[in-house]
Amino acid sequence: MDLEELKVKILELKEKRRAIIVAHNYQLPEIQDIADFIGDSLELSRQASRVEADVIVFCGVHFMAETAAILAPDKIVLLPDLNAGCPMAAMIRADELREWKKNYPGRPVVCYINTTAAVKAEADICCTSSNAIEVVNSLAAEEILFVPDKNLGSYIQRHVSKRIISWNGFCYVHHHFSLGDIRRSRAQYPTAQIWVHPESPPEVIDEADLVLSTGKMVKEARNTNHQEIIVGTEEGIIYRLKKENPEKNFYPLRPGSLCFNMKKITLDKVYRALESMEPQVKVPPEIREKALGAIEKMISL
């Protein structure tokens, strides 16, 4: 089957299964093209909590599908490739967090959405890159434990008066951005603005013009008067930015910045998932209940 045939088959099966296809901004172009909804982690969680379909086909990584399963327990959540995990989410386990917390009694734990459900179950409140500062400011405590991204932790620290104590995790895609990438891009496109994701290292954030989640990049791309933008995040988002803003130019801060796990979701796997209704992502009820508390606190903000 060629790509076009596959797309038609997927759309037919989607109707039959009463399914909705949601995709993260980093997904492959052909996946974005068939998705009913594309977004960042916060937008995708909100979407999952209000869908009317029976089945959610989640085109993203495992923690995102788990979040959908937590928010929509009566739906079937399909992740077309169960090996599509987030290496940063794998940098902290629930037992490690339990041990770490013991060193800091009384400090609330804020967990980035890029964590497993079991880690969320150990946290007080969840956050995404879109709302991390608001979430931290919503807490009364003066010292906050933050897991797992040290770069997002240090970005939050710049904007709040509280003390952020971070776990030592990072996203390998964003952590690779360097001052060399900034200098090279500025030399190549002197009139361009540079946007970076808050998972980038502090020295890169210092030199960027704007620091934005992927969802905020999509919005800013529509509103900005700049015609040339250098994008410091996973390259998959550039497809969406160009498609929605054909009159503007978007360049990767570091060509080849790809999240290989995001790219594991292919049309073929989406088709097979809808056909077999596998693999499903499920969260055990005792973990779900606790993790839901942390996610709902975030959503209610």
Residue 116 in the binding site for ligand 13P (CB under 6 A): no
- Compare residues 14 and 236 and give the one whose CB is closer to ligand 13P: 236
- CA distances in angstroms from 102 to 27, 109, 145, listed in the order given: 38, 12, 11
Residue 41 in the binding site for ligand 13P (CB under 6 A): yes
- Compare residues 204 and 262 and give the one whose CB is closer to ligand SF4: 262
Residues 6+ apart with CB under 8 A from 27: 35, 38, 59, 60, 236, 262, 265
Site for ligand SF4 in 95-124 (CB under 6 A): 114
Instruction: State the DSSP string of the chain.
Output: --HHHHHHHHHHHHHHHTEEEEEETTS-HHHHHH-SEEE-HHHHHHHHHH--SSEEEEES-HHHHHHHHHH-TTSEEE-S-TT---TTGGG--HHHHHHHHHTSTT--EEEESSS-HHHHTT-SEEE-TTTHHHHHHT---SEEEEESBHHHHHHHHHH-SSEEEE-SB--HHHHT--HHHHHHHHHHSTT-EEEE-TTS-HHHHHH-SEE--HHHHHHHHHH---SEEEEES-TTHHHHHHHH-TTSEEEESSTT---TTGGG--HHHHHHHHHHT-SB----HHHHHHHHHHHHHHHH-
Site for ligand 13P in 177-216 (CB under 6 A): 197, 199, 213-214
Q: Which of ligand SF4, ligand 13P, none does residue 116 bind (CB under 5 to 8 Å by kind)?
A: none
- Compare residues 61 and 292 and give the one whose CB is closer to ligand 13P: 61
Q: Which of ligand 13P, ligand SF4, none does residue 214 bind (CB under 5 to 8 Å by kind)?
A: ligand 13P
- Compare residues 116 and 214 and give the one whose CB is closer to ligand 13P: 214
Residue 47 in the binding site for ligand 13P (CB under 6 A): no
Q: Which of ligand SF4, ligand 13P, none does residue 261 bind (CB under 5 to 8 Å by kind)?
A: ligand SF4
Residues 6+ apart with CB under 8 A from 170: 88, 91, 149, 150, 151, 199
Residue 32 in the binding site for ligand 13P (CB under 6 A): no
Residue 171 in the binding site for ligand SF4 (CB under 6 A): yes
Specify the stretch interacting with ligand SF4 by CB under 6 A; choose among 86-94, 152-160, 209-217, 238-246. Answer: 86-94
Q: Which of ligand 13P, ligand SF4, none does residue 122 bind (CB under 5 to 8 Å by kind)?
A: none
Q: Which of ligand SF4, ligand 13P, none does residue 40 bind (CB under 5 to 8 Å by kind)?
A: ligand 13P
Q: Which of ligand 13P, ligand SF4, none does residue 213 bind (CB under 5 to 8 Å by kind)?
A: ligand 13P
Residue 265 in the binding site for ligand SF4 (CB under 6 A): no
Q: Which of ligand SF4, ligand 13P, none does residue 71 bind (CB under 5 to 8 Å by kind)?
A: none
State in angstroms the smallest separation of the CB of 126 from ligand 13P.
12
State in angstroms the smallest separation of the CB of 171 from ligand SF4.
3
Residue ranges in contact with ligand SF4 by CB under 6 A: 61, 86-88, 114, 171, 173, 234, 259, 261-262
